[in-house]
Amino acid sequence: MSCPVSQPAVDLNPAMLPLEWLLGTWESDEPGQGSFPTISPFHYNETLYFTHVGQPVINFMFNAFHAESKKPLHRESGFIRIQPGTNTVAFIIAQNLGLVEIEEGELEGQKLTLQSRALARTSFAKQPYVQQISRVFQLRSDGRLEQTMFMALDNQPLTQHLHITYRRTSSSLKSQQ
C-alpha cells in the first residue's frame, strides 16, 4: 500500500537531514504487541509513512490494524520538526481517537526519544484520560525500525503499551545528496 498523498520529487530540506533515515514506508515485520493494565493484551500490524515536500518538516501517517481480524485500529498523522542548530525534535500528532499531542525529545544518531509536552482532547473523549505518552524510535543495525511506546492514564502510571518492529518497504522519494 502506498502513501495516499502524492508527493513531488523534491530535495529534502537540509534542516531535516538528521532524520533522513526515517523516510519511506515501513511495514511491521511481525505483529506488534500491545498491553496495558486496563485492557487485554493484543497483537497488531502497522504501516508507517514518512514523507516530505521540501519544507523543514517531515510528514507522517501511522495506520494500525488488528493482526487477526485486519480491522482498522489506530491512526495518527502529523509533522516532525527539528529545532534549528540542535538535536531537539518535535512530533505534532493528531490521533483518530480525539487526542492531539506534541511530543518533544532528543535525536541521538538514529535513535529518537520523545515525551509528550502537551495533550488536548475532544470534549467527549473516553475516560480515563491519557495523561502522558513517551516513545522511542530506533533504527537497528539490521536495518529494521523499532518503536516502543509508553502511556499513563488518570489511574495508571507510565507503563509500556506497545512494541513493534518494521522493515522498510519503500525508500524516500528524492533526498538531498
pLDDT in tens, 49-68: 999 999 999 999 999 999 99
2 within some domain: no
Q: Is the pLDDT of residue 40 over 60?
A: yes
Query: How many structural domains compose the chain?
Result: 1
pTM of full prediction above 0.85? yes
What is the reported pLDDT for 177?
41
9 located within any domain: no
Tell me, what's the pLDDT at 171? Answer: 84
What's the CA gap between 55 and 81, in Å, rounded? 10
* Residue 139, in any domain of the structure: yes
- Residue at 28 is within a domain: yes
The CATH number that applies at residue 74 is 2.40.128.20
- 21 lies in a domain? yes
Is residue 69 in some structural domain? yes
Domain that holds residue 24: 14-169
**Omega before 157 within 30 of 0, i.e. cis:** no
Angle at 86 between CA 172 and CA 171, to 5 degrees: 5
d(CA 57, CA 61): 13
